[in-house]
Amino acid sequence: MVIKMPYEKKKIQQYIIPLTAFLFVAIFVFLVLIMGIMDLRRLDKALIGFMENRGLDIVATIENVAQEDLNYLRRTLREKQEGRQLTPIPLTDKEHSIQEFLVKSLAEVAREIDVKWQEEHLNEEDLKLIAQRENLSFVIVLNELGEIVFQSKKYYHDPSTGEDIDITNQENIMGLFRRLGKLGDIGYIALRRKDGSGSIIIALDAGRLKYWSTKIAVKKVINEVGWKKELAYLMLMDRHGKKLGQEGDIPRKIKDASIITQDILAEKITIYSRKILFNEKRFLDILAPIRLDNEMAGYARLGLKWDRAEGIIKENRNHIIISTIFIVLIGIVSIWGLYLYQRRHLARMEEMGKRLQRAERLSSMGQLAAGVAHEIRNPLNAISMASQRLRREYSPRDKEKGKEFSRITEIIRDEIRRLNGIIEEFVTFFRIRRLDLKNRSLEEVLGKIIGLMKEEATGKGVAIKTLWRSNNIMVSMDEDKLKQAFYNILKNAMESISDSGTITLSVHPAEANRVAVRISDTGSGLTPEQVEHIFNPEYTTKEKGLGLGLTLSHEIIRGHKGEIHVQSKMGSGTTFEILLPVEKKAKK
């Protein structure tokens, strides 16, 4: 007994393997994405670390140049003093260059003071503000007689006159800087107006000299080194919050900037960085300390361009996305393949279940058929014999009554024959598995069947055409049973033609060493539902009989290791294609 699988269970089994594969692919894709995100974060940190090191290299270069320039400036301001006479130490080209840079920078401040003096807008309060802004020790303005007109603060030493300086003539700047007197640790320069109407004296002490050396170093580094390809902006501040130098536009202030700068100046942190969007471009904003004379001198804020790093991250992100899409596509194709395979597998299992059910049913029906045939045939034989005796011995003498009596007995005999035919068809259906196979010519078997049916077909107005060459194709067959199969198919084709029509038989080679027999009719045709159930023993469209003819033919052909296919369309006829294995060809 075959247990029928519930529909719900079959539906669950149809999807369980694809669902399992989907979960596996989803977990795998999730892990790939997590690993990709982690890789991107590691790459981002690595790039930030690399750019932070690059920023520290730039700051270190500024420190080295500033320290070197500071040492040169100190040397240019150092002299041997013999009595009241001052003897300058000879300067190298490098020292002259540093001196020139410092004089140019201080000359710009003096020029600003001179413009205010000429416009009569200068007073001691303005001078104090300029000195404080530019971080100068003091500034003194003298008239043509050498008298103090304005001073940023009181100074009780009388500076020596020194060389006259024309601040409008840039060609003479190299000769304008010299030491005018010791005056403690203060160095100063005097710049004379072009018309000789006065002079401006600017003084720097050691601390302010460090500020100006760093300021000059920033300008030189920016102008000489050339970091503009990777550096967007640069700003240096001293430890008191005064700007030492700037290049480029600086973004908005950093949140909690005072806390961060205090930590940097206190050497609690060595570097601070963050990614920012400024002027629709991304930068890595870096804060780092600056040291001079082994002391904390201030901090630098610089912006490194993030476009190259962003390109690297974007490329890796695209690789991860493409890899993920590729994995998802493979997963979808695999799941779809598994689904189709599972569906076909379950369809085959269902078909096998149906076949087993059918085999069990047929087996039960076969056992029932044997019993029914035995129980029915005996009474039928007795009824047949009784009807013959009645007709022979008890026929009425009256002609009219005799005719009626003969008609009734003929009906009884015909119905007995019909019942006997039904029983024979029913019993024969369950005996087809026992085949007596011998090599026979397929064309000869088909010719015999056509010969048997030709007279009946002519009477119904049906023409039978044959399309094959005499190739004498040999097939291993049980001739009687195969004749029965072809006869049933031809009979069914003939019954599908209502008035007149044509039945065409053709024989031609097929693939895999097989032969194909096609039986086509011009009958009424079948619906797709009828084609699907045409070989089912429980299905019939006939009003009389059991309708086992096509089922019997299907079983006989399967017993010969063949196949039978049906193509039909309502109103256009039906074609049966029978494929049988070829044994050999007889010798001509």
pLDDT reading at 338 higher than 60:
yes
First to last CA, the chain: 53
The model's confidence at residue 566, banded by pLDDT at 50, 70 and 90, is very high
Q: What percent of the chain has pLDDT over 90?
A: 6
Average confidence (pLDDT) over 497-519: 89
Instruction: Write down the CATH number for the domain with range 79-212.
Output: 3.30.450
Tokens (6 digits) for 401:
């009554």
503 pLDDT above the threshold of 70: yes
The answer, yes or no, to whether residue 313 has pLDDT greater than 70, is: yes
pLDDT of 163: 41
- Please tell me the total number of residues recorded for the chain in this structure: 588
**356-415: pLDDT as tens digits:** 776 676 666 666 666 667 677 778 778 878 887 777 777 777 778 778 888 888 878 877
The confidence score (pLDDT) of residue 4 equals 47
Beta strand spans in 393-535 (E):
438-441, 462-467, 473-477, 501-510, 514-521
* Mean pLDDT lowest among 124-138, 167-181, 509-523: 167-181
79-212 against 435-585: fold identical:
no
Cα distance between residue 523 and residue 344, in whole Å: 34
Answer whether 144's CB lies under 8 Å from 196's CB: yes
- Taking only the tens place, the pLDDT of each residue in 183-238 is 345 566 777 777 778 888 888 777 777 777 777 766 776 666 556 677 888 888 88
DSSP, residue by residue, 76-136: HT-EEEETTEEEEPP--HHHHHHHHHHHHHHHHHHHHHHHHHHTT---HHHHHHHHHHTT-
Residues 431, 555: contact at Cβ < 8 Å? no
The predicted-structure confidence for 511-555, as pLDDT tens digits, reads as follows 878 999 999 999 888 888 888 878 776 556 554 444 567 888 888
Contact 301, 250 (CB under 8 A): yes
Domain ranges for the chain, please list them. Answer: 7-70+313-354, 79-212, 226-305, 362-427, 435-585
CB 186 within 8 A of CB 204: yes
pTM score, whole prediction: 0.48
Looking at every residue in the chain, the average pLDDT score rounds to 76
CATH of 226-305, one of 3.20.20.450, 3.40.50.460, 2.60.120.1570, 3.30.450.20: 3.30.450.20
Across 115-129, average pLDDT: 85
Joined together, the tokens standing for residue 506 give 């053709």
CATH 3.40.605.10 fits 435-585, yes or no: no
